[in-house]
Amino acid sequence: MSGATEEKFRVEIISDECKGCLRCVNACPREVIVPTDQVNMMGVVYVEYADEGCIGCGACFYACPEPGAITVYEKKK
Ligand code: SF4
Ligand code: SF4
């Protein structure tokens, strides 16, 4: 690693499980979950993780009504 701050958390969103309700987007204090401009197999616009900035608070996970759509991982060293 040189220079850049290492991310401690990783957020995985299964696009085909997402119903596009945006609860996670509204719940995230860091605004690092964002809507895409793509639709999933259910025809809804899904969201994605911006790939950096997550602090691991879990708010997105608890806000999501779809079990398994969002998982927050703590990265191992
Ligand atoms: S765990 Fe918290 S900071 Fe990370 S994406 Fe979810 S709501 Fe945002
Ligand atoms: S809360 Fe869950 S279902 Fe709603 S937009 Fe976020 S990932 Fe999709």
**pLDDT tens-digit profile of 47-73?**
999 999 999 999 999 999 999 999 999
Atom 8 of ligand 1, residue of closest alpha carbon: 28
Atom of ligand 1 nearest to the CA of 33: 5
Among 9, 47, 54, 71, name the best residue to mutate to test ligand 1's pocket (greatest count of ligand atoms within 8 A of Cβ).
Answer: 54
Facing residues of 10 across strands? 73
Dist CA 74 CA 47 (whole Å): 20
What does the pLDDT read at residue 74?
95
What does the pLDDT read at residue 26?
98
- Percent of the chain predicted with pLDDT > 70: 94
Q: How far is the CA of 67 from the centre of ligand 1 (A)?
A: 16
Query: At the top level of CATH, which class does the domain 9-74 belong to?
Result: alpha beta
What does the pLDDT read at residue 4?
60
What does the pLDDT read at residue 19?
97
Average pLDDT over the chain reads 94
